[in-house]
Amino acid sequence: MTSPALTATVDLAAIAHNVGVLRAVSGTDVMAVVKADAYGHGALPVARAVLAAGATELGVAHLTEAAALRAAGIDAPVTAWLHTPGADFAGAITDRIDIALSSIAQLEAVIAAARRIGQPAVVTAKVDTGLNRSGVAVDEWSDFAERVAKAHADGSVILRAAMCHLARGDEPEHPLNDAQAQRLDLAVADLVRLGAAPQVVHIANSPAALTRPDLARDLVRPGIAVYGRTPVPAQGDFGLIPAMTLTARIALVKKVAAGQGVSYSETWIAPRDTMVAVVAAGYADGVPRLLSGRIRVRIGDRMFDGVGRICMDQLVVDLGPDGAGVREGDEAELFGTGAAGGPTAKDWADAIGTIDYEIVSQVGTRVVRRYVGAGAVGVDSEDTAKPENAGTGQ
């Protein structure tokens, strides 16, 4: 059997550990966010792992992501919160997906779908408390609350939950966090007064779950922390363990003479006779082209500098004049847990001015996911919940 050129090794035991940390620190239940194929880690294996570790619910962006989990046999509560016109609300109702609503128009579409198929819709009121993104707007809230309460009373919907999303959760002491929580509490009070008290209220994302347990309400809704990435780097890692290690095999080792350029536009000229390794990974696989000349990889127990432009399928590292004993077929670690000074996704993010959420989420489809740790038996890269038209809501 041919070994894959690129592998993302996902440690499900680390993910289970991280869920345990989130439960312990927040003191409440966990809705694990598995949108975007579980931030690139594989939605179905991760969903099974987090539920086995004690998470009680799952969260996704699109209805198609939720439907894929249902089709794979996941029966736990799943909430989806981003919908475009024409979304298949009838299918979501049939699948018992909790539909988070951000407008009166969405509410009316869900009510119509529920009445058409003769089954109540389970819904969440998503309230815009200050992020000014999705969520019921302030000037719509009173009308929305009355309409959803009426639909709850007549059996068209079951108002299960209320939620909002923090704009500055990664700044734990920022006053907007408390202001948003107060606004959500007032919205919940409106629903209670109208006879449609939600069963579950949630505010806290990863940073708030780890730094503001007072905002937890009925559960916390972490995303990146589930995967072991600290959401507040200034406060350390919180005991989280990064779950993904990205590796690629070396396709070629060759000599480059002093004065010769490497890769497109010859942005790196060899200052001496040297040996280079061509690593079978590029920007199509999630290695940002912006890392050209900045990336460092680990081969064996040594770190090597990337040189020249990162290409679609390959990148080049300088091995030095003696080649460091590196051979074709050896494995290069692109990022991992950071143990023993190895490269991390945060290193990449810091180098190009982004966040490690983006780095892990963009690991490409050519990269084989390999699962290790508790719950990994019988799981491979095909065991993922892949929605059709995930970006459309259709």
Q: Which backbone phi and psi does 46 adopt, to 5 degrees?
A: -70, -45
Catalytic residue, candidates 227, 264, 283, 357: 264
Which amino acid would we find at residue 213? P
Catalytic residue, candidates 35, 227, 283, 357: 35
Which amino acid would we find at residue 94? T
* Cβ-based burial of 92 (10 A; exposed 0-12, middle 13-18, buried ≥19): buried
- Number of other residues whose CB lies within 10 A of the CB of residue 172: 18
Annotated binding site: 133, 312
Is the four-CA dihedral 278, 279, 285, 286 of positive or negative sign? negative
Task: Decide if 124 contacts 201 (C-beta within 8 A).
Answer: no
Query: Which token pair is 60?
Result: 């996704």
Radius of gyration for the chain, computed over Cα atoms and rounded to the nearest angstrom? 24
Does residue 35 carry a catalytic annotation?
Answer: yes
Does residue 227 carry a catalytic annotation?
Answer: no
Alpha carbons 149 and 255: distance in angstroms, whole number: 72
Annotated binding site for substrate: 133, 312
Alpha carbons 167 and 175: distance in angstroms, whole number: 11
Query: H helices of 97-219, where?
Result: 104-117, 138-154, 175-193, 206-211
Q: Of 256, 255, 207, 227, which Cα lies nearest the Cα of 357?
A: 227
Catalytic residues: 35, 264
